[in-house]
Chains A and B, each alone.
Chain A
Amino acid sequence: IVLTQSPGTLSLFPGDRATLSCRASQRLSGNYLAWYQQKAGQAPRLLMYGVSGRATGIPDRFSGSGSGTDFTLTISRLEPEDAAVYYCHQYSRSPPWTFGQGTKVEIK
């Protein structure tokens, strides 16, 4: 399953709403879709799992939605510390697992 993320880069101001898209090449059976945040020089951090489940410690300005082949990560009010690359990831019951190519979020 190929995951295609858009846009490649998002440049927004603090307080703006960010909408990141992830499209799968085929329907995901089950909600096996996660989002990770990777800041420069750091390991990825889990944000969302099962499409809309928020990981421990993740603020509620992060939310996930979607089904089938189209999924969205929304950051409702951007903070400066949200500058990072965001990856969607499908972890279906059958290999291979795949990641999207990433969306870079820049804070102006």
Chain B
Amino acid sequence: EVQLLESGGGLVQPGGSLRLSCAASGFIFSSYAITWVRQAPGKGLEWVSTITGSDSVTYYADSVKGRFTISRDSSKNTVFLHMYSLRAEDTALYYCAKGAGGSFSYHTDVWGTGTTVAVSS
């Protein structure tokens, strides 16, 4: 069974940093892209970042470019989202999702349950 489990969320002050993890199981990890999508409280879905499969090409939304870094560790079947210079508007439930293929142009087919990030002083 394909599973994704996010962790690493929490309360952080504006300007602070956080690292989210997405632990994957049930599929050949290196063959699939992984995407982060966030959802602010009571709001809709916002694409954040994607990392492709074996070649690890990265893509970012303009709202996080230069502040967030996505990476993957195939030895741990885990994708990380390093978040720096956090702002109040980054407060959201962060989901990781598996792509249906290895490149950028595949839809996401399985989602985790999310981890909550709150940015507040």
* Closest partner residue, chain B, to A45 (CB atom): B111
Is A49's CB under 8 angstroms from B47's CB? no
Q: B residues bordering A, Cβ < 8 Å?
A: 35, 37, 44-47, 50, 59-62, 95, 100, 104-114
Residue of B nearest to A35 (CB): B107
* Residues on the A chain within 8 Å of B95, using CB: 43-44
Tell me whether A18 is interfacial, beta carbon within 8 Å. Answer: no
Q: List CB contacts (< 8 Å) of A63-108 with chain B.
A: 87, 89, 91-93, 95-102
How distant is A63 from chain B, measured CB to nearest CB, in Å? 17
Q: Are A96 and B47 in contact (CB under 8 A)?
A: yes
Contacts between chains A and B (CB distance < 8 A), count: 61
B44:A43 contact, CB within 8 angstroms: no
Q: Is B46 touching A43 in the complex (CB atoms < 8 A)?
A: no
Give 8 new A-B contacts, CB below 8 A, not counting A46-B107, A87-B45, A96-B62. Answer: A34-B108, A43-B95, A49-B100, A93-B105, A95-B104, A96-B47, A99-B44, A102-B45
User: What residues of chain A lie closer than 8 Å to B44, measured between beta carbons?
Assistant: 87, 99-102
Contact residues in A for B45 (Cβ distance below 8 Å): 36, 38, 44, 87, 89, 99, 102
Q: How large is the interface on A (under 10, 10 to 19, 20 to 34, 35 or more residues)?
A: 20 to 34
Complex Cα distance A99/B47, Å?
8
Chain B positions within 8 Å of A50 at CB level: 107
19 contacts between A and B (CB under 8 A): A30-B105, A32-B105, A32-B107, A42-B113, A43-B114, A44-B37, A44-B45, A44-B95, A46-B108, A50-B107, A87-B44, A91-B106, A92-B105, A93-B104, A96-B47, A96-B59, A96-B62, A97-B47, A101-B44
Contact check, B105 vs A91: say whether CB atoms are below 8 A apart. Answer: yes
Docked CA distance A95–B61 (Å): 7
Which chain A residue lies CB-closest to B93?
A43
Complexed CA–CA distance, A84 and B36 (Å): 22
Q: Determine if A34 and B59 form an interchain contact, defined as CB atoms under 8 angstroms apart.
A: no
In the complex, whether A55 has a CB less than 8 A from a CB of chain B is: yes
